[in-house]
Chains A and B, each alone.
Chain A
Amino acid sequence: MQANPSALTLGPVLFSWQPEAWRDFYFRIADEAPVETVYLGEVVCLKRAPLFDRYLGDVIARLKAAGKTVVRSTLAEVMSKQERKMVEDLCADDGVVVEANDGSALYYLRGRPHYAGPFINVYNERSVAVLARDGVTNVCLPPEMPAAAILALCPQAASLGVNLEVMVFGRVPLALSARCYHARAHGRTKDTCQFICNTDPDGMTLRTFEYQPFLTVNGIQTMSHDYLNLIGELPRLQDMGVARLRLSPHSCDMVEVASAFRDALDERIDTAEAAARLDGLQLPAPYSNGFYYGKPGHRQIAAAGKR
């Protein structure tokens, strides 16, 4: 028996986009994309946030007017005074739902409802219980979580009243560092970067000595080259009881991505047809789903038949 279809969410833009492009992207999402929740805010680099801050109010208003739930995401790596202040300020606003991406946000958000993002290490039921006690109502799992662990966690999270969210589309965040690798590639440092990362809307590709595309650099973040795509695993994810499925924004047609997932979730089309629509996006990299199957993350494994 099928429970309610899972909700679709749109994760925060992880890349450095031009402010107007950022604004227009979200305006279009508000107007056209079948997603229920939109996560907003700079997660990777403090220095980028002021660039699009001036459009934040307009974007939030447009998303809310379109009936979307807006959740504010915090920085994933917090060390400096300015980074700490950014997290503190965001968490001080009782009027917004905040998704914590590091321990300092968890510190500020204790005692009121909040979300735990994919940069918080939540792998098991006891960790979910600790966070639920502090007020967490939604946990987005680390993208390396295999299906066996998601399956084991679902009933336990449900009994704690916590929704589980799984990332299903986009380049996979693989690592964070104190050093900016975009700046390093251009002979600069984090402090002297001159926003070189905003020339790469989907990140900068690293290739091996065999010229095989391998990783994607996004400031202090390292991501996969390929795009995670769990469209073939949707029936299984729904059966497990995963409440929310997260799409991570890229410069491709995200309205089409969201529509393909939504149509598959609502069984207007089967997953094969949805997969064909995603294949039509002409992305610059292949799809992968290896982490889900407990295999090397870069692999693409054939889904094990229909439900």
Chain B
Amino acid sequence: MMLLQQYQRPELVCPAGTPAALRTAVDAGADAVYCGLQNETNARNFPGLNFTVAEVEQSLGYAHARQARLLLAVNTFPPAGKFQMWKDAIDAAARLKVDAVIVADMGVAEYAARTYPNLRLHLSVQAGASSPEAIRFYCESFGIKRVVLPRMLTVAEISELHRQIPCEIEAFIFGNIGMMAEGRCYLSNYATGQSTNMDGVCSPAADVHYEEDAQRNLTTRLGEFVVDRFSGGESAGYPTICKGRYFCGARSDAYYAFEEPVSLNLSALLPEMMRAGVTALKIEGRQRSRAYVKSVVGAFRKAVNDIMAGREAAFASLLALTEGRRETEGAFPSKKWR
């Protein structure tokens, strides 16, 4: 029972792509939910997703009535000439008194910090702050209270980092992982003309094409580039450049040059993450269904409660929810992944 004192109860931060998903996440035990507005100001700017300002207001009431917090992601980079849309998002967040705003752009952070000194700011993973000095730069410049860490650090590195920064740590524990450093990837824009950083879109559906031949081989394409090809029966993934198969001079067959299409699942590392000083555990997936949100949030709620109570946590049901039913612990367990 001595071990228990090493755990701080972590906050479970859950995705909400729609007001209905938000209510589902709160009901399933989320301590906090994060969402974005219906425009380029957030990094999941997909059709049919996200919130109007009025919906944020209603959802905030729902969450607060159930002791859950609402975080608004304003975590893209406004190109010069379009800054007003991001200002409007920050203004709305301050007016509605959301519990925190997740920012990435230095200009947006500065506007928020200067205009609304009481507005709590979290640093988005999109800011790519991966060292104590980089994190301190943001904390000292903009009064950042929490950093969302890039998915490239090991648990040991997170633990060390925790002792060297003046803010809380939020870390991803489950969901889709891009292979590239967040906020520093133009691959999608290179193929489609839509920028992840400026437009909040990666692999936009309008540029995705599936082509099946007579042998039932399926080719997936982003813009004009083939991202992968699946022989009859093989289950096909959504074409994301960093999860495609390509040829290179060093190999005879097409291979996953960056990463296999797997999902992050750190459930087995949860106790270690909690000991490493992680304040908030983040679940990815604002684009996912309510059923998905319900299962994942429910499973992690139970697991965190079990660990806090000194019980063994069980996660068998989560594998069915990972991409292609394959999972990885990514960079988190050891440096060999790199």
Rounded to whole Å, the gap between the CB of A134 and the closest CB of chain B is: 8
A228 CB to closest chain B CB (Å) equals 11
Binds A, one of B15-23, B132-140, B315-323: B132-140
Determine whether the beta carbon of B197 is less than 8 Å from that of A108.
no
Query: Residue B185 at the A interface, CB < 8 A?
Result: yes
How far, in Å, is B192 (CB) from chain A's closest CB? 6
Contact B130 A78 (CB under 8 A): yes
Q: Which A-chain residue is minimally distant from B136 (CB atoms)?
A: A107
> Is residue B179 within 8 Å, beta carbon to beta carbon, of the partner chain?
yes
Can you report 21 residue pairs joining A to B where beta carbons are below 8 Å apart? A78-B131, A80-B157, A103-B138, A104-B133, A125-B107, A126-B106, A130-B107, A148-B81, A149-B79, A149-B81, A152-B80, A176-B185, A179-B259, A189-B336, A190-B335, A190-B338, A205-B248, A215-B241, A296-B193, A297-B186, A298-B191
Q: Say yes or no: is B167 at the interface (Cβ < 8 Å to chain A).
A: no
Contacts of B79 in A (CB 8 A): 123-124, 145-146, 148-149, 152
Question: A13 near B: Cβ within 8 Å?
Answer: no
Asked if B249 lies at the interface with its beta carbon under 8 angstroms from chain A, I say yes
* Interface stretch of the complex, out of B6-14, B46-54, B220-228, B269-277: B220-228
Q: Judge whether B70 is part of the interface by a CB distance below 8 angstroms.
A: no
For the complex, give the distance between the alpha carbons of A298 and B249 in Å. 22
Measured between C-beta atoms, what is the minimum distance from A293 to chain B in Å? 9
Contact of B248 among A104, A128, A146, A204 (CB under 8 A): A204
Mask: chain B, 181-192; 1 = CB below 8 Å from A; 0 = not = 101111101111
Q: Are A175 and B133 CB-contacts (below 8 A) given A124-B77, A189-B336?
A: no
Interface residues of B (CB under 8 A from A): 77-83, 104-108, 110-111, 127-138, 141, 150, 152-153, 157, 179-181, 183-187, 189-193, 195, 197-198, 219, 223, 225-229, 241-242, 244-251, 254-255, 257-259, 331, 335-338
Stretch in contact with the other chain, from A17-25, A206-214, A258-266, A275-283 = A206-214
Assuming A185-B257, A217-B257, is B130 touching A79 (CB within 8 A)? Answer: yes
Interface 1/0s, chain A 119-145, versus B by CB < 8 A? 101111111111100100000001111
**B137: contacting residue among A77, A103, A119, A175, CB under 8 A:** A103
CB distance from B326 to the nearest CB of A (A): 17
Q: Are A295 and B193 in contact (CB under 8 A)?
A: yes
Question: Quick one: given A107-B136, A176-B180, are A296 and B226 in contact (CB under 8 Å)?
Answer: no
A294/B336 contact (C-beta < 8 A), A106-B137, A176-B181, A184-B257 known: no
Which residue of chain B has its CB nearest to the CB of A190? B338
Known A149-B79, A178-B338; judge A123-B257 contact (CB<8 A).
no
Add 6 more A-B contacts to A103-B129, A144-B198, A178-B331 (CB < 8 A): A84-B132, A121-B183, A123-B197, A144-B197, A151-B81, A298-B191
Chain A interface SS verdict (over half): mixed
A222–B258 alpha-carbon span in the complex (Å): 10
Q: Across the interface, do B137 and A296 meet the contact criterion of CB distance under 8 Å? A: no
Whether A174 sits at the interface, judged by CB under 8 Å, is: yes
The listed residue with most A CB atoms (<10 A of its CB), out of B181, B192, B229, B255, is B181
Query: Are B246 and A208 in contact, CB atoms less than 8 angstroms apart?
Result: yes
Q: Given known contacts A79-B153, A185-B248, A222-B180, is B137 in contact with A209 (CB within 8 Å)?
A: no
- Residues of chain A at interface, number, CB under 8 A: 77
Top-8 shortest CB links A-B: A126-B107, A103-B134, A178-B152, A152-B81, A104-B133, A149-B79, A153-B80, A152-B80
Measured CB to CB, the nearest residue on chain B to A144 is: B186
Residue of A nearest to B192 (CB): A296
A181 CB within 8 Å of chain B = yes
Measured CA separation A102–B130 after assembly (Å):
9
In whole angstroms, what is the CA distance A199 to B131 when docked? 31
Chain A stretch 154-174: residues in CB contact (< 8 A) with chain B: 156, 172, 174
Asked if residues B152 and A206 are in contact (CB atoms below 8 Å), the reply is no
Smallest CB–CB gap between A188 and chain B, Å? 10
Residues on the A chain within 8 Å of B157, using CB: 79-80
**Contact assessment for B193 and A294 in the assembled complex, using a CB-CB cutoff below 8 Å:** yes
CB of A94 within 8 A of chain B?
no
Contact status A103-B187, CB under 8 Å? no
Cβ-defined contact, A191 with B335, below 8 A: yes
Interchain CB contact under 8 A, A131 and B106: yes
Rounded to whole angstroms, the CA-CA distance of A132 and B246 in the bound complex is 42
Residue contact A144 to B225, C-beta cutoff 8 Å: no
User: Nearest chain A CB to B256's CB is how many angstroms away?
Assistant: 9
Contact between A175 and B131, CB atoms less than 8 A apart: no
User: A179–B337 contact, CB under 8 A?
Assistant: yes
A121: which of B105, B255, B258 is its contact (CB, 8 Å)? B105
Q: Are B77 and A296 in contact (CB under 8 A)?
A: no
Select which of B107, B135, B338 is within 8 A of A124 by beta carbon: B107
A186 at the interface (CB under 8 A from B): yes
A212 contact set on B, CB distance < 8 A: 225-226
Given the interface contacts A121-B197, A175-B186, A209-B226, does A84 sit within 8 Å of B338 by beta carbon?
no
Query: B187–A222 contact, CB under 8 A?
Result: yes
* A146 to B77 CA separation, bound complex (whole angstroms): 13
Tell me if B246 and A207 are in contact (CB < 8 A).
yes
In the complex, A177→B338 CA distance in Å?
A: 9
Q: Which residues of A contact B228 (CB under 8 A)?
A: 209
CA distance A296 to B185 in the complex (A): 14
Interchain CA distance A153-B245 in the complex, whole Å: 38
With contacts A207-B247, A209-B254 taken as known, whether A127 is within 8 angstroms of B190 at the C-beta atoms is: no
Instruction: Contact check, A208 vs B225: say whether CB atoms are below 8 A apart.
Output: yes
Contacts of A178 in B (CB 8 A): 150, 152, 181, 331, 337-338
